[in-house]
Structure 1
Amino acid sequence: MFDRLLSLLRAPAPGATEIPQADARHALGALLVRVAKADGVYLFQEIEEIDHLLASLYDLNVVEAARMRAECEKLEAAMPKTEDLAHILSDTVTRTERDALVQALWQVADADGRRDDTEAQVVMIATRTFGMTLDEATALRR
C-alpha cells in the first residue's frame, strides 16, 4: 500500500503537459519561447505573439495554439542549447521557410516594444545555425 501511495505522488498530475517530441514544429515554438524568456521577463505580449504565430503557422485554434505553446515551453526548458533547437529546424526547412522563421523570432523579440540584446543574441545564435549572415538576419527584422 505504501508503494502505491508513493507511485501516486510521483506520477504526473492529470492533464500535465508532457515534453513533446523534438520535431520542427515544437523546436520552432521552443525557440520562440526562448527568445521571449531571454531577457528574464516572460510577458503577456510575448506569450500572445507566440500563440498568434503558432496558430497562424500551423492552422491552430486559440486553445490548440496555447496547448502547443505549453508543450514548447517544456521542450525549451529541457533543451539547454539554442543551437540544438535551431539545428532541428535547419535540417527540415527551406531557405524561404527559414526567412519566415527568423521573422517570427524577431516578432517575438519585439513583441514587448523593447529591443533587448539578450533576445537578439538568441535570434542570432539561431540564424547562425541556419547558415545566415548577420546582415541577412538583421534585414529580416525590418
Structure 2
Amino acid sequence: MFADFLNRLIAPQPDPLNDGDARLALSALMVRVARSDGVYDKAERSMIARLLSQRYALSTQECEALLQDAETLETQAPDTVRFTRAIKDAVPYENRLSVVESLWKVVLVDGEREAEEDAVLRLVSNLLGISDPESARARQAAQSDAG
C-alpha cells in the first residue's frame, strides 16, 4: 500500500507532497521518534493523536485512521536519514519548525528524556534544517506547554 508513496518520497528529485501525503509523512516521523527508545506506549500514542487532531482538525475516526497508517508507514519507511531528508525537501520550513516542537512534545510526554530519543530528535532536527538552538527553543516551548 505504501510502496508507491515511499518510492515517490525518496526519489532523487521528489515532487512536493500534497497535503494528505505530507500529513502521513509527518505523522510517521512522529511515530518513528516515539519508537526510537524501544518503547511506544499509550501516552506517546495519545500525544501524537492529540497533536494530529489539533494540527489537522481531524475527527476521532480520521485521526485514528491517519495514526494507523502512520504506524504502518513508519515500519516500512527507509532509514531515518533518507526519510527525514525527503520530508525536508517536500515540507516548507515554517511547518518543519512546528513539527520539531511537536516531536519534543511526544518525547517529553512520559516525563523522561531518553538518550535514544534525544539522539534521534537531534538528527531529525538537523536533517529538517532546524538548528540546535532552534530545536532547544522548540523543546522549551514544548516543556512550557506541558508544564
RMSD: 1.6
Judge conservation of contact 2:24–2:70 (CA < 8 Å) in 1: yes
Quote the Cα distance in structure 1 between the aligned partners of 2:55 and 2:83.
Answer: 18
CA positional deviation for 1:87:
1.9
Structure 1 letter corresponding to 2:119: Q
Q: How many residues align?
A: 125
Quote the Cα distance in structure 1 between the aligned partners of 2:36 and 2:91.
Answer: 24
Quote the Cα distance in structure 1 between the aligned partners of 2:100 and 2:135.
Answer: 7
Residue aligning to 1:19: 2
Quote the Cα distance in structure 2 between the aligned partners of 1:77 and 1:118.
Answer: 18
- 1:84-142 Cα offsets, whole Å, 9 max, x none, are 22223212332221110100110101111111111112211111111222222122100
State the TM-score, normalizing by the size of structure 2.
Answer: 0.78
Structure 1 letter corresponding to 2:137: A
Give structure 1 regions of 4+ aligned residues with deviation exceeding 4 angstroms.
none
State the TM-score, normalizing by the size of structure 1.
Answer: 0.80
Residue aligning to 2:18: none
121-130 or 65-74, which deviates more: 121-130
Which is higher, the Rg of structure 1 or of structure 2? 1
Residue aligning to 1:111: 109
Judge conservation of contact 2:27–2:70 (CA < 8 Å) in 1: yes
Q: Secondary structure at the match of 1:141?
A: helix
Judge conservation of contact 1:24–1:88 (CA < 8 Å) in 2: no
Residue aligning to 2:28: 30
- The structure carrying a bigger helix percent of its residues is 2
Q: Secondary structure at the match of 1:98?
A: helix
Structure 2 runs not aligned, ≥5 long: 7-20, 141-147
Q: How does 1:80-95 map to 2 (within 5 A)?
A: 80-95=78-93
Q: How does 1:1-16 map to 2 (within 5 A)?
A: none
Residue aligning to 2:16: none
Judge conservation of contact 2:96–2:128 (CA < 8 Å) in 1: yes
Structure 2 letter corresponding to 1:32: M
Judge conservation of contact 1:51–1:65 (CA < 8 Å) in 2: yes
Residue aligning to 1:97: 95
Structure 1 letter corresponding to 2:28: A
Residue from 40, 59, 63 that aligns with 2:57: 59
Judge conservation of contact 1:127–1:133 (CA < 8 Å) in 2: yes
